[in-house]
Amino acid sequence: MKKSYWGIKLQDLFLFNCGSSHHSYRFMGAHPLKWRGKQGVRFAVWAPTAQAVSVVGDFNGWNSAGASLERAGETGIFVGFIEGLEQGALYKYRIVSSEDEVLLKSDPYAFYSERRPNTASIVYGLPEFEWSDAAWYSSRQKIPSYERPLLIYEAHAGSWKIKGKEDYYTYAELANMLVPYVVEWGYTHIEFLPLMEHPLDQSWGYQVTGFYSPTSRYGSPEQLKQLINECHMQGIGVILDWVPGHFCKDEHGLRRFDGSPLYEGADWKRAELPLWGTLSFDYARSEVRSFLISNAIYWLEQFHFDGLRVDAVATIIDLHMDKPPELHTLNADGGHINLHAIAFLKALNETVFHYYPNLLMLAEDSSSYASVTKPTYMGGLGFNYKWNMGWMNDMLRYMALSPADRTQQHHLLTFSIWYAFSENFVLPLSHDEVVHGKRSLLNKMWGSYEQKFAQLRMFYGYWIAHPGKKLLFMGGEWGQFDEWKDQDMLDWDVLQYDSHQSMHQYVKKLNHMYRNQPILWENDFDPACFQWIDVNNSEQSQISFIRRSKSGLLLAIVNFSGNDYSHYRIGAPEYGIYSLLMHSNEVEHGGTATAVTREIHSEEIPMHGQAFSISLELPPFTFMLFSFTAKDIEPRGDDVDGS
């Protein structure tokens, strides 16, 4: 038996077969190298049931025979070296299946691919990039992410701004445009919708064919690295939307890769995802686990992403999710949880945090599965954050109600606190909520044009003050009226109108206020950070609460009704001065409040179970946030010692 195959050690192949290869991309796929004095490209591809595998491409005129690869023992991997081949060559694998079917497949490990509609892989090594983000990495090590602000700007690279129809800005151009904007508006991170190669623009990158290929729509892998490097230089983290739950059925992709159900598994009921027209991965197969875990490490190691938002966790772990009854299957225990998927997710997170302890692993999970953000040694899945889909659904449902109906649905406002500390939550206002006829965030609000703006400002204030980290999809920051159109650029033109411009500046001020107030983020996941003042005021549709931390306290008041209260009294926990930080209804933000009191002194009048209270003017559809400065209680006349 050979000790190696053109430099690939048997140990590497063994680990790949066992599901324990964390860096399989270092030897799988196409790698330019010099072997025994000869320059060329080494190929390695997993096709265990194939009779034969060869490489065809522009270098041999797409000759039907191709350059044959050698079977590496019993590993199921075919390996070969083509002398004289250079970076940039187009290629595919020609696979003869066990049934004599001839398949032309793109490389699952291709590091670069042709732009659609073409589907060939491109020989593209792992070139060194001159990173200059050491200071960013050093700062990231100092404080756990839980104790830092996390305000994510979710963006789709193909529609934030574009030059024209299907004429996109490159990664490098986005580095000069998007990054300064995100910095100016106060976000801490950009989260990109999937950037892997995909054939259909309308899938937004969620139906992948090239899991290791940065999509060629926006330029080269080096340009993507340039974009991320610039983000880090400007103090911005970058999160990649990652899709390990399914893949599309295009013939050049993973489906029946060697003529057999390989990546998708043999049980078609489990493989089929009819809602999306895709196939789910077979997490029971060790080589599939090596492929996926290595893919996660690839993006983190080679591109310096600061985290992964793992898509569709609910679908990954639930055998029945998004499937009709005829496709339901059961696990070995008779339940509907995918036990192999659970094991995969735990192994994924353990591996990622082994190499990158301070990374962000965010689960986009709509299920009620417990302990998603608990460590695996405590029985959890091992993520460090989970999207709070319950909060998002309840709040958007509530904001669409008329003020009269809100009095009967007050629980939609308050229920989230019952479970807010059961996981480490991110409060997402994401792309999924502003497409497919769901309307934009602004247009979800009840009421007239002016009332919609007032309520969106109020809603954003409540979102910022509620425990949990934050995520907002692009366009929401200026109140885009139309829902997201993935084939067109965002409606930047609406910023010529005062209402949208005022919203834009309000969100900017709100974001920076959040960044500058540690009370809003340094202990998000400690129940001690939150205290209700008035929680049951359903008749007036109002809530008030305290945020606390070692840095002090903030008092938040939200009026979800259309009524104006000129002398509204609420309880206050301490005696002193309450200074206004944010008022969503001020004229400068597009509201109607002209005379706003900046400081309010609490009084020794008990209210809402508190020893003190404050009186203020509370306009309709308004969010107000106050900081607090303690002050000694002045003695009353009958308390003065007259001796």
46: buried, middle or exposed (CB in 10 Å: 19+, 13-18, 0-12)?
buried
Catalytic residue among 258, 364, 365, 423: 364
d(CA 213, CA 106): 11
Q: Could you give phi then psi for residue 465, rounded to 5 degrees?
A: -85, -20
Active site residue 477: no
Catalytic residue among 107, 154, 306, 311: 311
d(CA 68, CA 408): 71
Q: How many angstroms separate the Cα of 79 from the Cα of each of 25, 67, 258, 459, 554?
A: 14, 11, 15, 57, 63
Take residue 300 and report the two structure tokens written for it: 């983190």
Query: Which run of H or E residues covers position 295?
Result: helix 286-303
What is the dihedral sign for C-alpha 380, 385, 389, 391?
positive
Give Cα 255 to chain centroid, integer Å: 26
DSSP per-residue codes, 48-71:
TT-SEEEEEEGGGTT-SS-EE-EE
Asked whether the bond before 117 is cis by omega within 30 degrees of 0, the reply is yes
d(CA 60, CA 78): 19
Active site residue 311: yes
CA angle (112, 114, 116) in 5-degree steps: 130
- Going through 47-192 in order, the beta strands assigned E by DSSP cover 52-57, 67-68, 70-71, 77-83, 90-96, 102-105, 121-122, 151-155, 162-164, 167-168, 189-192
Contact 227, 172 (CB under 8 A): yes
Take residue 436 and report the two structure tokens written for it: 């497919």
Q: Which of 555, 460, 554 is nearest to 508 (CA)?
A: 460
CA angle (206, 226, 185) in 5-degree steps: 75
Q: How many angstroms separate the Cα of 357 from the Cα of each of 19, 307, 321, 353, 361?
A: 22, 11, 31, 4, 10
Contact 614, 572 (CB under 8 A): yes
Q: Across the strands, what pairs with 68?
A: 54
d(CA 399, CA 379): 36
CA angle (599, 601, 602) in 5-degree steps: 135
Q: What is the CA radius of gyration of the chain?
A: 28
Catalytic residues: 311, 364
